[in-house]
Amino acid sequence: MYSIKEVLQLLLIVIVIGLPPYLIALKTFRNLKLITIIILSIIYWGGTIYTQQVIPFILILILLIVNSRNKKIMEEYEPSIVNKKFTLKDFILIAGATILIRFPIGIINIFYVLLVDLIGINVQSQEVVDIFVNSQNNMLNILIILLVVIVAPLNEEFSMRYWLFGKVLSPRAGAIIAALISSGLFTLLHYNIAGVPTFFVLGLYACYIYYRKGFWGAVTVHFIFNLSSVLLLMLTKLIIPIA
């Protein structure tokens, strides 16, 4: 049986990650027959509840493919997802800046955890981190790496930056308020007290990069940040058995 906490966490992930691509897909494929939309909707939401991230990831890939191949069709029903040109030079510059920025973020987070611990609040690492560090199952570790490095960045940047920050909040509340709200929800989505400063600042930084370089710029931030985290965890797994 799931606890109330686990159910609420599941609902938050399903709604925040699953709803944006679903709403955009409804506009994009609005010419489909109603019965087809109903059947696909049942499959989508059932799969999203079961897999949380995988089914929305597949739908986002489909939307990106439609966006790149049928721009006229997309522009009729939905503004372009990839709204700014993104080059290899942009990727390299954003990747380098993200690596540099994670060190001060990490230092801030260390002091935050010490402070939270001093006032008696129990802090724990993310569940996925504990599973990865303690697991000896290579297949499970590979799946976790793919989820953290590929699936999560695409899903969360689509929902948090492209949809919530870019489409919903910025036109109505302005970029600053939109960045604060979307970064707060992004932090809540990770459901981890120990990482609050990291997630919030990362969210703000991704909003800034999205504003400057568009969707793929924000995905690059998230991808590089998560990849560097995974590499550090892999190094930890190598060192711990030796110690």
Residues 63 and 164 both lie in one domain: no
Instruction: State whether residue 182 is helix, strand or coil.
Output: helix
pLDDT along the chain (243 residues), means of 10: 75 93 93 94 95 95 86 52 83 96 91 87 76 82 93 96 95 95 94 90 96 94 95 78 46
Residues 134 and 184 both lie in one domain: yes
Residue 10, in any domain of the structure: yes
Residues 116 and 213 both lie in one domain: yes
Residues 64 and 110 both lie in one domain: no
Q: Where in the sequence is the domain holding 140, given as residue range(s)?
A: 88-239
Residues 124 and 171 both lie in one domain: yes
Residues 69 and 135 both lie in one domain: no
Q: What is the pLDDT of residue 80?
A: 65
Q: Which residue has the tokens 């992930």?
A: 13
Q: What is the pLDDT of residue 175?
A: 94
Q: What is the pLDDT of residue 9?
A: 82
Number of folded domains that form the chain: 2
Residues 45 and 132 both lie in one domain: no
Domain-terminating residue out of 44, 77, 110? 77
Residues 128 and 227 both lie in one domain: yes
Residues 214 and 112 both lie in one domain: yes
CA angle 101, 206, 228 (to 5 degrees): 50
Q: What is the pLDDT of residue 67?
A: 82
The set of residues, in sequence order, having a beta carbon less than 8 Å from that of 205 and lying 6+ positions away, is 98, 101, 221
Q: What is the pLDDT of residue 164?
A: 96
Q: What is the pLDDT of residue 242?
A: 43
Residue 83, in any domain of the structure: no
Residues 197 and 96 both lie in one domain: yes
Residues 163 and 227 both lie in one domain: yes
Q: What is the pLDDT of residue 124?
A: 76
Domain-terminating residue out of 77, 97, 121? 77
- The helix (H) or strand (E) run that includes residue 212 is helix 196-213
Distance separating alpha carbons of residues 136 and 193, to the nearest angstrom: 27
Residue 41, in any domain of the structure: yes
What pTM, to 2 d.p., does this model score?
0.90
Residues 110 and 212 both lie in one domain: yes
Q: What is the pLDDT of residue 17?
A: 95
Read off the amino acid at residue 98. Answer: T
